[in-house]
Structure 1
Amino acid sequence: MFPMASSSSSSPPLSLLLIRALPSKPLLLSRHRKPFPYPKSGRIAVARAQQRLLRLPETGRWGRSWRRGGGFPCFSYNANNESPPPSDKSSDNWRILQRWDVPWEWQTVVLSMVGCGVSSVTVVVLGVIFGITNTFRPFPDDVFRYDIKEPFKLKNGWLLWAGVGLFGAIISIGLTGAAMTYLNGEPPERETDSLVLLLPLIGSSTTSTAFLVGITGVLAPLLEETLFRGFLMVSLTKWFPTPVCVLVSAAVFALAHLTPGQFPQLFILGVALGFSYAQTRNLLTPITIHAFWNSGVILLLTFLQLQGYDIKELLGAS
């Protein structure tokens, strides 16, 4: 039996003592916590550090919450703002490391660079040729002649003889290819052929086809015919007969393409270009033959690819 509580007003009843709340956990911990043994100077330094932490502003992106019963701040990231970027991807925030969003493919890059390179080479080579020979002006009428007059004249019509030379070149190159296939037993390998290297660009888009036709059908014929026929072949005729000069310039023309497997065909084409130029003494004749040859091949392969043919297999490339 419990003794009866006194009715004195100086002490509370027993029931109130029983229902009084127990001390909280931090209070219990603080009563049993042993003080950290540090000197007075260390105690003053810790007190000052705690006062500075208590005076930290609560503005900005970071919020602060306090743990009850202790003097250490707890910082949390503001959920209303974006999460901080990972440390391993922080370099993406540097503009000098960011990439451009490029809409075109690699074919466009190749065509643009090749076009600029060929056009630059054309301008430079023609500038060198005409710059060096400029001291010998005025030229004879049949030297460096680009004349569009009388294209169908029987004697020296540039367009008429361009058609004759193109037809002769097609027949001769076809016979040469057949003879090589018969002698070797199989078509020649064409891994290094420039045409095989251009296969990914042929027919890939209208723009790429137009660029290829412009480069191979305009710039390349203008440069090569002015250099090999208009300058080299004409210059050699000062010491050698014209047929010999045609053969020599054709051989140099074939070697300049750096495709040993296609040397016979390129040599035959160079011979046709040289004799047609010797007939008309007009550079528009070999330029026209060369342009129709190059652009005709590109357009024919593009048409065959659009029809579903495997042009790589047709060319005999492995």
Structure 2
Amino acid sequence: MTLKRLILSVLTLFVAILVGGSLWSSFQEPQITNRLQLYQTNLLLHATAATEITGEVDGAALQKALLGESPLKTALEQYQAVRKAAEADLAKLEKRLATVDPAALGDSGPPPAASSRPIPSRTVDSQATRLTTALQQQRSLLDQLNLSIGILQAEQGDLTAAQQTWGKLAESAAAGSPAADTARTLTGLWNEPPRIVPDAEMQLQKGLEGWFRYTALDRLYSLQQRTEALNALRADEAAIAQGTLLKLALVGTVPVLGAIAGAGLLVFLVAQRLTQGKQSILALNGEVPWDVPWDWEIIWQVLIVGFFMAGQVVAPLIVGVLSPVLAAFGPRAKAVYAFTYYLLMAGSGLAVLYWSIRKWIPLPKDWFQYRGADRWPLWGLGGYLVALPLMIGVSLVNQHIWQGQGGSNPLLQIVLEEGDAVSLGLFLFTAAVAAPIFEETLFRGFLLPSLTRYVPVWGAIALSSLLFAVAHLSLSEVIPLTTLGMVLGVVYTRSRNLLAPILLHSLWNAITMIGLFVLGSGARL
């Protein structure tokens, strides 16, 4: 074995441990799906409030179509389901934290079991910090869920259940915590007779969001007989509800219409393939491999050194060194961090790719083609429409498999909660421009064609799609991203133009980001 292969073998073992550990870690983390459902429910509750305020028949019809006969009951069931999942996740986090060396937590608890494998102190510190932070976030989530569940129970007339929910929260939350104070404020408002604490309005403004804040303030102003404030609040809620209808269409109706169009296009393409054979659109270039001048060792080198080592090890280390500088951006630091990290990963990855294949330049036909005068927009848009129904179907199966576990891309939750326009712009550029260009150049532009030297085109599509999915380091996303990767691969192999899968990838990421922003902005109103 040459020295180069020995080094690559060692790096591959390191990468396998790193990727395997990340996937295993994601297995024990919750998905973002439940949170997305709650954000959409919050938008629906705003629409429901519009019907109650204005009494419009159209609003009532919308309410029935979206939430059913009992919208508050449906919303309560959704919140209770998420709370149950959050409680299970909290128990898992507490169990995992208990296995960490207590010294890393500043605790004097019992030593780890004798069978525990020794862990380097820096790893323990990092793990302990990450788990402690995750634990705090999970407890904060449960506090917010219980505040909201209590309001939904109270609005349905079940005051006993609401008082119990808030009472348990006030007892379990840390003394003087905002959640505990808000719970006591809500308890007083729905008490018989009502008890209004001196800073009730401030507590409700700070402790609640969206429909829940409006509902609690409506109760407060009604009890205080503040007619002017109550009328202004209801007018504000009615105005918000009008915008909510558009947001509901964006996050609900538009994707459904796109999925219907995509299903029709998919049926047409499959039928044409069955009836016209090699003359069909799907058969175009379907069995034509690339002329690959390099061997498997170059493929191995680009993946291990150019993507995994540069992207998952070197880039995070550099960004970590730059973290004090990035922290100066304040609330926009996360967006700048993500943007900087991705540019470093893409730049280093593409540099390794160029260095690895430079001696074969100029390359044979069809390599890294970015042809503007072509039908790539039709391929990209058509691929996006076809991907919609496929991804919806796969996601339903995926949810059944993972039951809310398996982790999600952390960027999704950040965008969901982000309200700053500049930060959102950076996130959108990172996801909709930088990521598609880099990932399509590497996985579709280099990896897929290179694999056709050893396997058929369909095999190269499948294998490159699986590696594309695994590279995202989230276990629950492997099946959906493999599916998306296969659509991207089909689009590229047929069009032979990288602009087509880049457009598809960009549309997918951009529309996902916009949908998250719409959901998040609706919850913050």
Structure 2 CA distance, aligned partners of 1:166 and 1:134? 33
* Counterpart for residue 217 of structure 2: none
Question: What is aligned with 1:211?
Answer: 426
Corresponding residue of 1:132: 356
- Partners of 2:449 and 2:359 lie apart in 1 by 17
Give the CA deviation at 1:284.
Answer: 0.8
> Is 1:162 the equivalent of 2:377?
no
Larger Rg: 1
Matching residue within 405, 413, 435 for 1:189: 405
The residue number in structure 1 matching 2:332 is 108
> How far apart are the structure 2 equivalents of 1:104 and 1:162?
36
Alpha-carbon distance, 1:135 to partner = 1.1
State whether structure 2 residue 417 is matched by structure 1 residue 199.
no
- Secondary structure at 1:173's aligned position in 2? helix
Distance in 2, matches of 1:225 and 1:200, equals 24
Contact 2:369 2:498 in 1 (8 A): yes
Residue in 1 that maps onto 2:458? 243
Work out the CA distance in 2 between the residues paired with 1:175 and 1:201: 25
- Equivalent residue for 2:397? 179
AA in 2 matched with 1:188: G
Query: TM-score under structure 1 normalisation?
Result: 0.58
Report how far residue 104 of structure 1 moved: 4.8
Q: 2:481 is aligned with what amino acid?
A: L
Work out which of the residue numbers 137, 140, 144 in structure 1 matches 2:368.
144
- The correspondence of residues 14-93 of structure 1 with structure 2, limited to 5 A, is none
Residues 265 and 211 from structure 1, CA distance in 2 versus in 1: closer, same or farther, beyond 3 angstroms?
A: same
1:309 Cα deviation from its structure 2 partner: 7.5
Considering fraction of residues, name the structure with more helix. 2
Return the alpha-carbon distance in structure 2 between the equivalents of residues 215 and 288 of structure 1: 14
**What is the CA–CA distance in structure 1 between the aligned matches of 2:414 and 2:362, rounded to whole Å?**
47
CA-CA distance at 1:166 after TM superposition: 0.7
Q: For 1:200 and 1:225, locate their aligned partners in 2 and report how far apart those are by CA, in whole Å.
A: 24
- CA change 1:303–1:287 in 2 (3 A) is same
Tell me which of 489, 512, 525 is aligned to 1:297.
512
- For residue 141 of structure 1, report the CA deviation from its aligned partner: 3.0
CA displacement 1:155-184 (0-9 Å, x = unmatched): xx2110111111111111101112334x44
| CA-CA distance at 1:187 after TM superposition | 4.8
**Residue type of the alignment partner of 2:441:** T
Deviations 1:195-244 (A, max 9, x none): x4542344421011100011011111111111111111110101210000
Q: Could you tell me how far 1:258 is from its partner in structure 2?
A: 0.6
Native 8 Å contact 2:469 2:485 kept in 1? yes
Q: SS state of the match for residue 368, structure 2?
A: coil
Q: Are the aligned partners of 2:398 and 2:476 in contact in 1 as well (CA < 8 Å)?
A: no
User: What RMSD, in angstroms, separates the aligned Cα atoms of the two structures?
Assistant: 2.4
Structure 2 SS opposite 1:225: helix
Cα drift, residue 302 of structure 1: 0.6
Match among 232, 257, 273 for residue 472 of structure 2? 257
1:225 aligns with 2:440: yes
- SS for the counterpart of 1:200 is helix
The amino acid across from 1:126 in the alignment is L
Q: 1:110 to 1:307 in 2, by over 3 A?
A: closer
CA drift of 1:131 comes to: 2.5
Letter in 1 for 2:404: P
> What pairs up with 1:273-312 in 2 under 5 angstroms?
273-308=488-523
Change (3 A) 1:231 1:206: same
Q: Which runs of 5+ in 2 are unaligned?
A: 1-324
Cα distance in 2 for residues equivalent to 1:289 and 1:247: 18
Aligned mates of 1:115, 1:140 — CA distance in 2? 34
Q: Cα distance, 1:291 vs. partner? A: 0.9
Q: SS at 2:414's partner residue?
A: coil
- Aligned partners of 2:411 and 2:503: how far apart in 1? 24
Q: After superposition, give the CA deviation of every residue in 1:33-83 in whole Å (9 maximum; x if it has no partner).
A: xxxxxxxxxxxxxxxxxxxxxxxxxxxxxxxxxxxxxxxxxxxxxxxxxxx
For 1:261 and 1:137, how far apart are their aligned partners in 2? 39
Q: Which secondary structure state, in structure 2, belongs to the residue aligned with residue 282 of structure 1?
A: coil
Distance in 2 separating the partners of 1:279 and 1:254: 21
Partner of residue 270, structure 1: 485
In the TM superposition, residue 103 of structure 1 has moved relative to its aligned partner by 7.8
Instruction: State the distance in 2 between where 1:173 and 1:207 align.
Output: 30
Q: For the residues of structure 2 that align with 1:200 and 1:129, how far apart are their CA atoms?
A: 31
| Whole-angstrom distance in 1 between the partners of 2:500 and 2:370 | 9
* Counterpart for residue 25 of structure 1: none
Q: Deviations over 1:106-164 (max 9, x none)?
A: x41222122112112211111221222121122123101111112xxxxxx21101111
